[in-house]
Structure 1
Amino acid sequence: MLRLYLFFVLVFGVLFVFSHCTEDSKTADLYFPESLPAEVSVKTTLGKEENLRKLQSVSKQKGMSLEEWKDSEKNKIDDSQINRYYAKEKTGPSGFDVSIDMIDSKREGIRRRLAWTRIFKIANVSVSSDESFYFPISKINLKNAITTGNSDHPKWTIVEWSDFNCSFCRKSHPASAAIRKKYGKDILWIRKDYPLESETKEGLLALSVMRCIYSERPPLYWQSLDSVYELKFFSLTSMKNKLEASSVPGNLIESCTSEKSLSRFEEVVRKDHSEAVSIGVGAIPTILVNGRFIVGALDLVSFEKILKATLPSK
């Protein structure tokens, strides 16, 4: 009887140790920092070459690209884990999120930042807390960029990542347009595409068509922005109607909405998106003003404050 008792004690002891070790392993996989770094801090961390090399080295050891590793970590995060941080995040003026879009955007931002935080911990990369970190324009591919303004000696160089099918981008567009009009002679403005649905033709449609128009007649691109941002449902018909209302010639509309043209410019848009992800852009609208990242929709007053804060010293 004593031997049987000792046997069960031994068995339960082994099971306890195994369970404890398994639980420790799960806890190690599901790292929860006290607080999440800001979006701009994530970009700052990814913008440092030594960090990027280290992260890419670890991801290579895992047999995947850095983007695939990020997606893998995001897939491990469930709603209960997002809830750990959601209540702590800043909400609207009333203390509550004011739209489904805002709620979804915030929750997705938490998921993304938690995934990067875990990756940084695994790779032993320190998260930068310096939100004034300078991100050089030389790190951005400008070969196919959409530009306007002063390209010789601008006071401000602004890179904007946006999508026409983005409610926050739509909200921010009037301020961006007003800034370009008011400070055009002092600004080099660069637009980069960040499709919210980069894997579907519908998600790439408007950006691809507008890319084509810019390649043929740049002034017509900027002239048509207001109209295209008014669209909430994108199809070939709705795009054609909006562009026609913006006085874009019919032959150019037909050319830029052809299957051949769409296929060509979809690839350009996807490359913009891949580049943005690689440097840490994970939410739109995002703008880079003289090397400083700002995330989220801006009104004119806020935008002008940013210009003042980033004005180069004489």
Structure 2
Amino acid sequence: MLRTLFLLLAATLLPAQPPSNWQAATTLPGLDMKGLTLAQQKVVLTILRDSTCPCGCPMQLAQCRVEDPACSQSLTLATLVLEAAAANKTAPEIRKILADSPLVKAGTQRDRILLDPVSINILGAPFKGPANAKITIVEFSDFQCPFCVKAIPQLDALLKAFPNDVRLVYKQFPLDTHSQAALASRASLAAHAQGKFWPLHDKMYANSRAINRQTVLDWAKEFGLDMPKFTKVFDAPETQAAVARDLADGSRAGVNATPTIYINGKKYQGALDIAKLSPIIANELKGK
């Protein structure tokens, strides 16, 4: 009881934290406006004070810069506004540039199951299902990702439910947090060069914790692969570069976790569950 009274008394005696007063701030963390005219600075500050940060916080861009200076999205967008002002863009032009930026567009689509379509290069990538399928699902995945392991039976069930209409394309997205994922990606491409991508794919996902160079070589031998050819492709700089290209393709498309799938180029933001995916595929087939 005495401790509670002491804390209450201390709270009344301690000075309250002053508000950030971001609405009156003329400088913002991470933003150098020295090269702008006073009129340009005013335009920048006005736009940042009345534009919402898309990072998910309830703040305006200027407020986010002041109260959460570590936010990379508010910094990126504030810099975009500053650069537009420095290029002598008018306030309406700057607002349009801001609205058209990928970060702002992504923020407006956060609650959608399917986002707007993007272009993804799938030339030469392994796939299963009809080559001329009406629906192409592109999966960015990591061979040591436990969530990717759980997604496999769901995606396989989807292919069985729509055998003539859906194909699944695999794209590499090994995460740095998984020590053998990049090695597994190279191994899968070496198997793909001999037409054995999916057998090794299934084996590695079924034994994701056991993946290392020796086990991968043993599995490749088990599937009857030409081992000198396999090892050559496995260790080739070109194969490492191919994995890097898939990673770059994923990053451009908006992949930030695995597994991530795109349905005819549209990023899917729901559960990877056949009960959720089947009606979406049916709607896509109807052109909805």
Range into which the TM-score falls when normalised by the shorter chain: 0.5 to 0.7
- Which residue does 1:26 correspond to in 2? 29
Unaligned runs of 5+ residues in structure 2 are 1-21, 33-48, 58-64, 82-97
The residue correspondences of 1:141-160 to structure 2 (distance < 5 A) are 141-152=121-132, 154-160=133-139
- Which residue does 1:178 correspond to in 2? 157
Give the TM-score of the pair, scaled to structure 2: 0.61
Q: Which of 202, 209, 217 in structure 2 is aligned with 1:232?
A: 209
Q: Answer yes or no: is the 8 Å Cα contact 2:189–2:239 preserved in 1.
A: yes
CA shift, 1:161, in A, is 0.7
Q: Which of 127, 134, 146 in structure 1 is aligned with 2:116?
A: 134
CA shift, 1:155, in A, is 2.6
Q: Structure 1 residues 260, 168: closer, same or farther in 2, change over 3 A?
A: closer
Letter in 2 for 1:36: C
Instruction: State whether structure 2 residue 172 is matched by structure 1 residue 215.
Output: no
Letter in 2 for 1:249: G
Number of residue pairs matched? 216
SS class of match (1:141): coil
Over the aligned positions, Cα root-mean-square deviation in angstroms equals: 3.8
CA shift, 1:295, in A, is 4.1
- Which residue does 2:287 correspond to in 1? 313
Structure 1 CA distance for aligned equivalents of residues 231 and 74 of structure 2 = 41
Query: Which shows bigger deviation, 139-148 or 262-271?
Result: 139-148
Q: Answer yes or no: is the 8 Å Cα contact 2:53–2:74 preserved in 1.
A: no
CA shift, 1:188, in A, is 2.6
Give the TM-score of the pair, scaled to structure 1: 0.57
Letter in 1 for 2:259: P
Structure 1 CA distance for aligned equivalents of residues 182 and 152 of structure 2 = 19
Unaligned runs of 5+ residues in structure 1 are 1-19, 39-76, 83-110
Letter in 2 for 1:146: P
Q: Structure 1 residues 164, 201: closer, same or farther in 2, change over 3 A?
A: closer
Structure showing the higher helix proportion among its residues? 1
Structure 1 CA distance for aligned equivalents of residues 213 and 78 of structure 2 = 46
1:213-248 deviation line (CA, Å, top 9, x unaligned):
11221xx2223322211222421122234445xx51
SS class of match (1:264): helix
Q: Which has the higher contact order (CA 8 A, sep 6+)?
A: 1
Q: Structure 1 residues 34, 164: closer, same or farther in 2, change over 3 A?
A: same
Q: Structure 1 residues 307, 115: closer, same or farther in 2, change over 3 A?
A: farther
Q: Which of 29, 34, 55 in structure 2 is aligned with 1:36?
A: 55
Q: Structure 1 residues 242, 267: closer, same or farther in 2, change over 3 A?
A: same
1:84-122 deviation line (CA, Å, top 9, x unaligned):
xxxxxxxxxxxxxxxxxxxxxxxxxxx9xx534542343
CA shift, 1:34, in A, is 6.3
